[in-house]
Chain A
Amino acid sequence: MTTKSENQTVSSTKKQNNSKIWLFMLLILIVLNVLVVRWYKPVEPEINIATESILFHTENGEIKSDPWFTLPLVGPVYLTNTTTAMALVLITLLIIAAAVRRQTKDGQLRATGIVMAIESIFTALISMVDSAVEEKWRDRIYPFFLTIFLYILIANLTKLLPFYETFGFAHPVASEGFLADKWTSFLYAIRSTPAAEGEQGYRLVSLFRGATTDLNFTLALALVTVVMIQVMGVQAHGIGYFNKFINIRAMRENPKSGLIQVFVGILELIGEIAKIASFGFRLFGNMFAGMVLLSFLGYMVPWLVNAFIMLYEAFVGILQAFIFAMLAAVFMSMAVRSEHSSS
């Protein structure tokens, strides 16, 4: 330290002071959190596979969901709390995109702020799949790969925000409710004490819930990805890509080996359907497991450990986003260079 110039030492101590203030504020927040939770026990998040509709009415003390709109063939569509979370994710992505666009509009490269962050993420990701993807197809595959990574990453990380699953609409129910304190005419705080006989109980319908903890969201993403894989295959081999599934020419030329080709085609078809299931369930299972883990750990260790599990959840979110995107890129590169390309 003594060999460094005075100027540097000054700036470093300034930086240290700055970070110390942050640490101090963090410590105050932690202590405040522990004290507040001790005096005022907050409501526990409900764990349920099915998402809740945020449009509802109360009927005889029970929650009845109202449909958002009704489609002719599909039926009623509900505005669930994962849909609102998805809207939040899209807004975040749009803000990031607008910020990057504004800073790179003049066509000059800048190594600062959000542009730097996005660029380093993309460079790191691309270097990991570069060996698996052919050079000719990189311009086609990488936009999809990076988009899906950013989308799932933001969805997974926003899931950890504090107001998720605990902020929403309180409304009176007839049974199995919790006691609530009325702060103002419209602001209620639900406590974790169950309402006794004769007392008015309240239930919480949360406004936000992590988008990736909804099976519909992950399965839709998986469906889009698998359809895109087929589109890439057709772009590479034309209509001959479907020879992978039903090889008519081989059947006509040689009926004996054609029969084997039929079974191989059936296996390939099952493989494509299994891709949808494995993409969707992997993401959903990991994220939902994180939600369950966080909530059950609260019963075992009331404080401190949850913070580290939260950090682990952030890591799992990044890893799952990476795995989803990388598997999509690898499957796409497999589709564009199948063995049928030689024929």
Chain B
Amino acid sequence: MDPLVGKYIGTGLVMLSTIGAGIAIGKIGSSALDGISRNPDTYGNLMTTMILAIAFAESLAIYSLVVAFLILFG
């Protein structure tokens, strides 16, 4: 078998970790929406906090993306 196959399968497996980030971002978004709909005055405050939390959750997916890039092009 071509050794390149292993490289591509590995890249695909690494990107599985985006599932967790997807769940996290969905939860953050839904909770922020809950908060905003309960108290619309907090919109500005919540928005900043939400973007911050999403950036944290997303950075975990970005780690796996960097590893995938290293496997593919490194």
A interface residue numbers (CB < 8 A to B): 47-50, 128-129, 131-132, 277-278, 281-282, 284-286, 288-289, 292, 323, 326-327, 330
Contacts and interface: CB of A to CB of B under 8 A. Distances in A.
Contacts of A131: 44-45, 48
B55 A285 contact: no
A326 B56 CA distance: 12
Interface string B16-55: 0000000000000000000000000000110010011001
Nearest to B62: A285
Contact of B55 (A48, A281, A323): A323
Contacts of A284: 66
B63 interface: yes
A289 B15 CA distance: 13
Given A289-B65, A326-B48, A278 B70 contact: no
A49 B70 contact: yes
Contacts of B51: 323, 326
Q: Which of B48, B59, B63 has the most CB of A within 10 A?
A: B59
Given A49-B69, A323-B52, 8 more contacts: A132-B48, A285-B62, A285-B69, A288-B69, A289-B65, A292-B69, A326-B48, A326-B51
A278 B48 contact: no
Given A131-B48, A132-B48, A289-B65, A282 B55 contact: yes
A-B pairs with lowest CB-CB distance, top 3: A285-B62, A282-B59, A278-B59
Given A47-B73, A49-B69, A292-B69, A327 B52 contact: yes
30 contacts: A47-B73, A48-B73, A49-B69, A49-B70, A49-B74, A50-B74, A128-B44, A131-B48, A132-B48, A277-B63, A278-B56, A278-B59, A281-B59, A281-B63, A282-B55, A282-B58, A282-B62, A284-B66, A285-B62, A285-B65, A285-B69, A288-B66, A288-B69, A289-B65, A289-B69, A323-B55, A326-B51, A327-B52, A327-B55, A330-B52
B63 to A, nearest CB: 6
A285 B63 contact: yes
Contacts of A326: 48, 51-52
Contacts of B69: 49, 285, 288-289, 292
Contacts of B48: 128-129, 131-132, 326
Contact of A281 (B45, B52, B66, B74): B66
A278 to B, nearest CB: 5
A290 to B, nearest CB: 11
Contacts of B59: 278, 281-282
